[in-house]
Amino acid sequence: MKPWLERGRGLVMGSAWGEALVSRGAFTFAHGVDPHTGVVTDIRSDVRGMNVKGKILFYPFGKGSTTASSWFLETVRLENNPAAIVTEAVDLSAVIGSVMARVVYGKEIPVITGVSRTAYSALKSGDKVFLDAGRGEVRAEE
């Protein structure tokens, strides 16, 4: 794809580089990702069967149980967590999970919000992405 850059609002700071995993629909870690593998298990997810581990995870908004932050943190404990999270609307589970990940496990998982689905409509799972939450930047490269 063509080089692409989008700005959002950094909620949890840090930078990351990796492959994108792009969920077009709402996403949840609660009962939706197996913490022991990182594989998406939610039967209603369009990225079911794919793995969040080490990915730059894109989704428009969260859904479902307020325990999602704990499920997210369990992927961190088991080292199957995404490298960063990019959303359109604020997902508090991602923010809280990421803050706890830094305090409890010393892991930096930046979170950016305000990046709309249309802005990354051309982005596909597997594309290489660089992200800097401090600058609020998400960049895709060939």
Partner 1 sequence: MLRGELGEAKQFAMEVVSKVGDAVGADELVPIKSAHVLAHYSSLHDAGVEVLERFADSGGRFAVPTSVDPASIDLQNWRSFGIPEDYARQQFRLCDAYARMGGMRCWTCVQYQVCNLPKEGGVVAWAESSAVVFANSVLGSRSNKITAGMDIACAILGLTPRFGMLLDENRRSSVIFKLYLRELTDLDYRSVGFFVGRNAGARVPSLAGLPPSVTSDQIKHLGAGAAAAGPVTMIHFPGITPGSRTTAEASGGEKVEEIEITRSSLSDIESDLNQSSELPDLVAFGVPHLSINELGELAKQLEGRKLKKMVKMYAYTSSQAYDMAERTGISAIIERTGARISHSTDAEISPLKALGFNTVLTNSAKLAEIVSSEGEVKVGYSPQKEIIEKVTS
Within 19-137, residue ranges assigned H as helices are 68-77, 92-105
Cα 124 from Cα 91, distance rounded (Å): 21
Q: Are strands 128-132 and 84-87 parallel, antiparallel or unpaired?
A: unpaired
**Would you put residue 114 in left (φ > 0), alpha (ψ -120 to 50) or beta?**
left
Pick between residue 79 and residue 141 the one whose CB is nearest to partner 1: 79
Our finding on whether 116 is near partner 1 (CB under 8 A) is no
Tokens of 97: 């999970």
Binding mask 28-47 for partner 1 (x = CB under 8 A): --xx---x-----xxxx---
Our finding on whether 65 is near partner 1 (CB under 8 A) is yes
Our finding on whether 71 is near partner 1 (CB under 8 A) is yes
Positions touching partner 1 (CB under 8 A) are 11-12, 30-31, 35, 41-44, 64-71, 73-74, 76-77, 90, 92-93, 95-97, 99-100, 103-104, 113
